Amino acid sequence: MKVGWAVGSVLTENGPASVIIGKDTRVSGYLFESALEAGFLSAGVNVGMLGPMPSPAIAYLTKAYGASAGVVISASHNHFQDNGVKFFSSQGVKLSDKTQKAIERKISTP
């Protein structure tokens, strides 16, 4: 939840924000999805849930829908028991180093 809040807090610094969340079919993805959604909502971010879909589709749809960011919950080619989270900018590409550092600062704040 704190990660969603931190990302959402950074995204809303310049006004209203929206994110879309997609995932693969790992069972743990549903848990991560709910936690991220709660964090984003607590930061005042509008959230769209896309369900299971490939990572490149999330990147494309982030830009196509005009979302502030996109999130993919997937461990890609790793073991089914693993999972991870990737964030895309509004352009459907990796977040800038500046944005990542701002998120890290929010996460490390008690």
Please state, in angstroms and rounded to a whole number, the distance separating the CA atoms of residues 19 and 98.
Answer: 19
The Cα-based distances of 108 to 74, 89, 103 in angstroms read 24, 21, 9
Catalytic-role residue among 18, 76, 89, 96? 76
Locus of tokens 């709910």:
34
Q: Is 108 a catalytic residue?
A: no
Query: Strand 69-73 vs strand 85-88: parallel, antiparallel, or unpaired?
Result: antiparallel
Catalytic residues: 76
